[in-house]
């Protein structure tokens, strides 16, 4: 039986270009216009956030498009307040589409008397009226368990696999690299998709932000290495790993990163590094310096999220989008 309620999109200020691109892709897929709900999300003089929705959303299936990226607290509050506004306006269902889920690195207590902020954020989202979450490449998959509502965690690896096969052509000398032991599962997933071997760069930290020692586990001599990770913040670890790989005989080093946080000196470090290319997704809106950097490329996620939103709305499988065979036709002519 066809769904009579249309999906409606509303966007915060975190990544308006991605929200508009998702709306365009949904219009293309459906053969009819899908636009963002007319609303204002602004701040009072004291920086309090105010939301007003200008369209009737009673009984509608609403999707809030909002990454909780820098400034994380402002964007998170925008998301919560938009959800509250929609709930009080009698929306039938509220789904938060969060391409980049901030606070995901605080998923456990690493020391005494520290918080589990990711769990706190999950609680706030549920309290605000959000009934489902759609995100991509959570820093820790177990964060899905922090929610008592459905969480769909998409993966960037199928997109990366499509791009790698197009860019590298001959994959016989390609090796996938995990920049730490914790990211092995993610790297193994991409290596399996492209039929490449796997290696690890083991790092030891004296304190956060500083790397004391790096060791390459595996033979990388004569290989074109692809470092894969979920996020790049200051790029210190990434650039150091690239240097270590070159020192161990790698011919080229590339990196595929799901979320380009790119704080502080990150762009300058990448530009001046030995890395031949850094590939990010647009889950976080690229800044001007990122767009202008000669060795940084940005892959679109709008086709993936648009199809996932339609699948949720239709009540069909979201996990089908984990497969390269499914994404291939969606990304045809884009990558």
Residues contributing to the annotated binding site for ATP: 46-48, 105-106
Contact predicate 15/23, CB 8 Å: no
Residue 318 CB neighbours (<10 A) = 16
Q: Are 49 and 74 in contact (CB under 8 A)?
A: yes
Q: Which of 323, 311, 327, 335 is nearest to 95 (CA)?
A: 311
Ramachandran sector of residue 165 (left: φ over 0; alpha: ψ -120 to 50; beta: rest) = alpha
193 close to 158: Cβ distance less than 8 angstroms = yes
Contacts of 208 (CB under 8 A, 6+ apart): none
What lies within 8 Å, CB to CB, of 180 at 6+ separation is 200, 201, 202, 203, 237
Per the annotation, the verdict on 203 as an active-site residue is yes
| Helices marked H in 109-258 | 117-128, 157-168, 184-194, 236-247
Distance between CA atoms of residues 173 and 226, nearest Å: 11
d(CA 279, CA 115): 32
Number of Cβ within a 10 Å radius of residue 284: 25
Q: Cβ distance 199 to 177 under 8 Å? A: yes
Name residue 11's beta-bridge partners. Answer: 65
Binding-site positions for Mg(2+): 139, 180
Other beta carbons within 10 angstroms of residue 292's beta carbon come to 11
Q: Indicate which residue of 111, 166, 169, 203 is catalytic.
A: 203
* H or E, element range at 22: helix 16-30
Paired residues of 202 in beta bridges: 215
The span from the CA of 130 to the CA of 83, in Å, is: 6
Q: Please give the positions annotated as active site.
A: 203
């Amino acid at each position: 039986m066809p769904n009579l309620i249309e999906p409606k999109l509303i966007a915060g200020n975190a990544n308006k270009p991605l929200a508009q691109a998702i709306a365009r892709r949904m219009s293309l897929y459906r053969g009819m216009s899908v636009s963002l709900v007319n609303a204002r999300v602004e701040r009072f003089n004291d920086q309090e956030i105010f939301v007003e929705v200008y369209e009737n959303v009673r009984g509608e299936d609403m999707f809030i498009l909002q990454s909780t990226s820098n400034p994380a607290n402002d964007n998170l509050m925008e998301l919560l307040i938009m959800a509250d506004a929609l709930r009080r306006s009698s929306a039938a269902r509220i789904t938060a589409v969060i391409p980049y889920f901030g606070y995901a690195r605080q998923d456990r207590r690493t020391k005494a008397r520290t918080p589990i902020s990711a769990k706190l954020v999950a609680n706030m989202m549920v309290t605000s009226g959000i009934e489902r979450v759609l995100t991509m490449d959570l820093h820790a998959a177990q964060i899905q368990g922090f929610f008592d509502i459905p969480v769909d965690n998409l993966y960037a690896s199928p997109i990366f696999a499509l791009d790698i096969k197009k860019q590298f052509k001959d994959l016989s000398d390609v090796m996938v690299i995990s920049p730490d032991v914790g990211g092995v599962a993610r790297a193994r997933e991409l290596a399996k998709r492209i039929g490449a071997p796997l290696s690890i760069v083991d790092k030891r930290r004296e304190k956060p932000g500083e790397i004391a020692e790096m060791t390459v586990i595996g033979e990388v001599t004569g290989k074109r290495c692809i470092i894969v990770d979920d996020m790049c913040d200051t790029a210190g670890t990434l650039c150091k790993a690239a240097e270590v790989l070159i020192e161990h005989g790698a011919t080229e080093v590339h990196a595929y990163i799901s979320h380009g946080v790119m704080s502080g000196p990150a762009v300058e470090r990448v530009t001046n590094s030995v890395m031949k290319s850094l590939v990010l997704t647009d889950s976080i809106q690229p800044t001007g310096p990122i767009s202008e950097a000669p060795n940084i490329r940005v892959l679109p996620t709008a086709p993936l999220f648009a199809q996932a939103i339609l699948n949720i709305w239709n009540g069909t499988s979201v996990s089908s989008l984990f497969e390269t065979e499914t994404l291939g036709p969606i990304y045809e002519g884009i990558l």
